[in-house]
Amino acid sequence: MREIDVLGKACPIPVIETKKALRENPDEKEFEILVDNEVATENLRKMANELRIDSKVEKLEERKYKVTLEKTDQSRDHKEIEDYSVNQATSENYVVIVNSDKIGDGDPEFSKQLLEGFIYSVTEQDHLPVEMIFYNRGVFLTSENEKTIEDLKNLEKRGVRIYSCGLCLDHYGKKDDLAVGEITNMYKIVEAMRSNHAIYPC
């Protein structure tokens, strides 16, 4: 039995951590995942269904659920579980452009958590972006937010180029706080947008 505690973790981290456990423990038959919301339980059940793994959800208490996954003879093999996480959509180069420190205009703290979850999700992709570019309030993710700085350093070590707008860093008084990547300018940002497939989470 492998236990995975992702209580308090925002989507899609519960699914990412569970897929990682499935890949890293091919001989393990049963997994118990603790989550704190129904959306996470549904996402885990959907993944299990696609991998032909039996699943069961149990509500333990308010905002605490246990999802049990059990492999059977019909479950997809280890190689197929590995392939499940591979980005099949395209092999072309792409860049990620971040122009805010949060996703959307909802609750500010929740919106920041969504963007942190997005950055973490990028680290789990098999096909990584060639560059990640941060401008406007996006530079707070490269200069202040410890969670995203750690994930971005991970990506940088794996060959992803990290750039922050120098004018934006100056405007927000963050130039001396830049903790990952290099400073760039708006010409470079426009060039990256023009030359590559670009993803905009914000």
Evaluate if residue 96 carries a pLDDT over 50: yes
User: Is residue 107 located within the same domain as residue 69?
Assistant: no
User: Is residue 104 located within the same domain as residue 43?
Assistant: no
| pLDDT per position as a tens digit, 114-169 | 999 999 999 988 889 999 999 999 999 999 999 999 999 999 999 999 999 999 99
Q: What is the mean pLDDT of the chain?
A: 89
User: Is residue 54 located within the same domain as residue 105?
Assistant: no
pLDDT of residue 137: 98
The pTM score is: 0.64
User: Is residue 190 located within the same domain as residue 104?
Assistant: yes
Give the domain CATH number at 42: 3.30.110.40
Radius of gyration of the chain (CA): 19
If one counts the domains in the chain, the total is: 2
User: Is residue 57 located within the same domain as residue 111?
Assistant: no
What does the DSSP assignment read for 86-125? S--S--S-EEEEE-SSSSSSS-HHHHHHHHHHHHHHHHT-
Strands 94-98 and 131-134: parallel
User: Is residue 8 located within the same domain as residue 99?
Assistant: no
| pLDDT per position as a tens digit, 12-29 | 788 889 989 998 998 899
Q: At what angle do helices 38-50 and 13-24 cross, to 10 degrees?
A: 40
